[in-house]
Amino acid sequence: MTEPCDLSAVEARALIGEKKLSATELLESCIARIEAVDHAVNAMVARDYDRARAAAKEADAAVARGDALPALHGLPIGVKDLEDVAGLRTTYGSTLFRDHVPEKDQLIVAHTRKAGAVVLGKTNTPEWGAGANTRNAVYGATGNPFDPSLSAAGSSGGSGVALACGMVPIATGSDTGGSLRNPAAYNGIVGFRPTPGLVPNEKKPLGWAALGVLGPMARTVPDLCLLLSAMVGDDAGDPLATTIEGRQVRRPEDFAVPGAVDLASLKVALTPDFGFAPTEKHIRAVFAEKTGLFRHVFARAEDTTPDCAGADESFEVLRALSFIAGFHEKVRDTPDQVGPNVRANVEEGLGYSALDVAQAMKLQTAMYKRWQGFFAVHDVILAPAVTLSPRPWTELYPAEIDGKPTRTYFHWLALAYAATLVGHPAISLPVGLDHNGMPFGLQIVGPRGGDAKVLAVAAALERLLAGDPRTARPVPDLAKLKAAAPLRESPGFMGFG
């Protein structure tokens, strides 16, 4: 029998509205799952059970009164520990904020609460989201639910693991170099990087910078759309959430359910590396095998890539610029309380000149323009979401891939930051397992502003692939996790390595 916590968000929400499932029953099922398996993976790091129970009780009362119920009514949600929740410990994975309790919800949290979601707790993240390996000196490491000794990726790793294990049906995340997509790929769930500004973020120190975005995570594409519909909106707090006076630009109803698309009408590009990413041979082979099972369904499937010349150089400079804006004072004043990834980015950034920044922006702009020409003749791009299969979380970052050194601690994220640089929407869709028995994520990248198109294609592919065990969404062995030793007992669990 299916436990309530294993229901999709869409199914659970429908049952709550039909009075066939109470918000309290769903919440208690999620809490029971956390208590049963989180010791093995360390995903839900700050828990808000008492307030969640009170919120679920009120949600049930609203159903009983016959109130109009919002989109996420009664659905438990996990909130990434980079995002402020009023009255709940929010550390950003940093020892500097070990005891920090915000007084106000961040906008993304306020929007999901308004839509009826019940905040159950905070999900683990690397310090300030840096590094895509979810471990820090406050809560320790998060393990992959398919093998807790391996990385859950990041920086939304805790959210990805919590979803895969059925701790929550929906969760928040953020993405600069793939932090919504990488953990989705590693944990067998769905993560979507929207167009910058679609989900407003009032906390960015560089308001007009478009590398970092907030977004949704879920187990299925329809669940993700349901959550996204509560996140989108026009807000003056984010300069990229551009408004047109008297008209709402970002409308929840445009994203609440995936649109319809005929896969047979699509012209698709397939690339294992965007021409520059250090994709390991294993992942190249898996990508070819997986896409070989379904590439025939498209009108045209061409092995090609947009020109990404200068992507590494541009991203390295622009990423460092954002780290200077956010963390220069912390590295300068309290270097002993800042981890190696953040320090490395700030120190790198301080070495760049205004000319370097201008050149990086020129490279980014030229790449963007080439992508627009590419999408004039292609509907979407399919690529792996991550360059390599999960490796041990004790490895701070992959220093080599197939025996070749990586450029930086984030070079292994190049498949993701290709789409980041040009501002195109992208999703990671689970497509079975790789040769190591770990989840494989297929990245679908759409045209400029094509968020709805990406979601429609992903939903259609999800339906197509669900019936084949080689391509269906994988599920971790919960019995094995329940019996596993606590992850905190693992050597190197706390800190950065």
Q: What are 6-42's pLDDT values in tens digits? A: 999 999 999 999 999 999 999 999 999 999 999 999 9
| DSSP code per residue over 319-338 | HHHHHHHHHHHHHHH-GGGS
In this predicted structure, the answer to whether residue 497 has a pLDDT above a threshold of 80 is: no
In this predicted structure, the answer to whether residue 496 has a pLDDT above a threshold of 80 is: no
What's the chain's average pLDDT? 97
3-state secondary structure of 374: helix
Q: Residue 242 — pLDDT band, cuts 50, 70, 90?
A: confident
> What is the DSSP code (8-state) at residue 247?
B
pLDDT digits (tens, 9 = 90+) for 409-467: 999 999 999 999 999 999 999 999 999 999 999 999 999 999 999 999 999 999 999 99
The mean per-residue pLDDT over the stretch 272-280 comes to 98
User: What is this structure's pTM?
Assistant: 0.97
pLDDT digits (tens, 9 = 90+) for 322-357: 999 999 999 999 999 999 989 999 999 999 999 999
3-state secondary structure of 31: helix
Q: Residue 248 — pLDDT band, cuts 50, 70, 90?
A: confident
3-state secondary structure of 439: strand
pLDDT digits (tens, 9 = 90+) for 189-206: 999 999 999 999 999 999
State CA 490 to chain mean position distance: 26
The mean per-residue pLDDT over the stretch 398-405 comes to 97
Q: What is the pLDDT of residue 22?
A: 98
Burial of 467 (0-12, 13-18, 19+ CB in 10 A): exposed
Q: What is the pLDDT of residue 386?
A: 98
In this predicted structure, the answer to whether residue 159 has a pLDDT above a threshold of 90 is: yes
165 CB neighbour count, 10 Å cutoff: 26
| Nearest of 390, 392, 388, 420 to residue 401 by alpha carbon | 388
d(CA 295, CA 488): 43
Q: What is the pLDDT of residue 131?
A: 85
H helical segments located in 376-450: 414-422
Q: What is the pLDDT of residue 186?
A: 98
Buried b vs exposed e over 65-81: b needs ≥16 C-beta within 10 Å? eeeebbbbbbbbbbbbb
d(CA 176, CA 211): 5
Least confident among 61-65, 243-247, 339-343: 243-247
pLDDT digits (tens, 9 = 90+) for 262-271: 999 999 999 9
3-state secondary structure of 286: helix
d(CA 209, CA 357): 13
Buried b vs exposed e over 247-277: b needs ≥16 C-beta within 10 Å? eeebebebbbbbeebebeebebbbbbbbebb
pLDDT digits (tens, 9 = 90+) for 205-235: 999 999 999 999 999 999 999 999 999 999 9
Beta strands in 213-308 (DSSP E): 213-218, 267-270, 300-303
Both structure tokens of 249: 């630009």
Q: In sequence order, which residues have a C-beta less than 8 Å from that of residue 232 and are 6 or more positions away?
A: 194, 198, 199, 250, 251, 252, 254, 255
Q: What is the pLDDT of residue 250?
A: 86
In this predicted structure, the answer to whether residue 1 has a pLDDT above a threshold of 80 is: no
pLDDT digits (tens, 9 = 90+) for 82-101: 999 999 999 999 999 999 99
Both structure tokens of 271: 């690339």
Q: Are 180 and 193 in contact (CB under 8 A)?
A: yes
Q: Residue 247 — pLDDT band, cuts 50, 70, 90?
A: confident
Q: Residue 244 — pLDDT band, cuts 50, 70, 90?
A: confident
- Give the C-alpha distances (Å, rounded to integers) separating 361 from 210, 326, 349, 357, 368: 12, 19, 14, 6, 10
